[in-house]
Amino acid sequence: QVLLAKRKCDGTFYAVKVLHKKTIIKKKEQNHIMAERNVLLKNVKHPFLVGLHYSFQTSEKLYFVLDYVNGGELFFHLQRERCFREPRARFYAAEVASAIGYLHSLNIIYRDLKPENILLDCQGHIVLTDFGLCKEGMEQEETTSTFCGTPEYLAPEVLKKQPYDRTVDWWCLGAVLYEMLFGLPPFYSRDVSQMYDNILHKPLQIQGTKTVAACDILQGLLHKDQKRRLGAKTDFLEIKNHVFFSPINWDDLYHKRITPPFNPNVAGPADLRHFDPEFTQEAISASITHTPDLAASSSSASDAFLGFSYAPTEEDI
């Protein structure tokens, strides 16, 4: 659950992500949560990654206090508009690539890029969020083999349960770019097993009147062989230098000097028009009252989440 909160001393709005300890322990996801916290602490210096301000815990729950972003999920806007024109899709893909490239420079792979994890801020810039599946310590040639991600965006090597590297993130970027341009992920089927078969064996189909550059980058990012995929040789540098992104000045992009192609036109922090009412009308559970069915034993919960809490020092502020 994500709550909207306001700091009493200065009226600053934050998003508060609430997690139940017992659920995390039951699913054996303690390491994922601690990895998410560690990655969030590194993100503060990048314009397109959500920032962590505080993290704290009670006997039952964990709390991440994050940047509040109310331009809506990219998923929400895609559902409403079906697909985007090429300049708009390029802008979002460039900001996402910049964020992924930064994570890779810290030897972190993201592993869960999808429109639901890409938010728009009040000006229309992207903010990448949800770092629960990130893998730290991934050097340039390093591989891992954990099966994780979201079905529509899984790379072939992940499906095959083969060792994979940073290029899984570039596959996902290709899948998201394809969805922005065509309205559906590249190998989509309602039947998940059929979709997996499509990802593994079906050639990429690019229909309609897209530019040569758009077709080429999609073919490069969605190459089924990770060693021949765009980004396999020089990582983010290859993506930056592709002709599809030639209209982008990357320094201007990083410093948000490029006007976003879409302005969410939010009236203020309380403007929730870009969120699905399913979420905004959800009941808020009490934070501190005891909930027997969700309470973890305090000793095991404390041991499982040692070092979770964080508050910035004066130097960080």
Tokens of 4: 């909207």
Checking if the pLDDT of 121 tops 70, the result is yes
Amino acid at site 49: L
Active site residue 293: no
Q: Residues 40, 102: one domain?
A: no
Band (44; pLDDT cuts 50, 70, 90) = low
Residue pLDDT, tens place only, 5-25: 888 888 889 999 999 999 999
Band (42; pLDDT cuts 50, 70, 90) = confident
Q: Residues 161, 241: one domain?
A: yes
Checking if the pLDDT of 61 tops 80, the result is yes
Q: Residues 93, 48: one domain?
A: no
Q: Residues 220, 127: one domain?
A: yes
What pLDDT sits at residue 92? 99
Checking if the pLDDT of 143 tops 50, the result is yes
How far is the C-alpha of 258 from the C-alpha of 251, rounded, in Å? 10
DSSP string, 151-177: GGG--HHHHTT--B-THHHHHHHHHHH
| C-alpha closest to that of 70 among 50, 53, 47 | 50
Checking if the pLDDT of 317 tops 70, the result is no
In a domain, residue 310? The reply is: no
Range of the domain at 202: 74-254
Element spanning 32, H or E: helix 30-42
pTM here is 0.89
Active-site entry in 67, 112, 130, 235: 112
Q: Residues 84, 222: one domain?
A: yes
**For 190-203, what is the mean pLDDT?**
97
CB atoms within 10 A of CB 142: 13
Total domain count for the chain?
Answer: 2
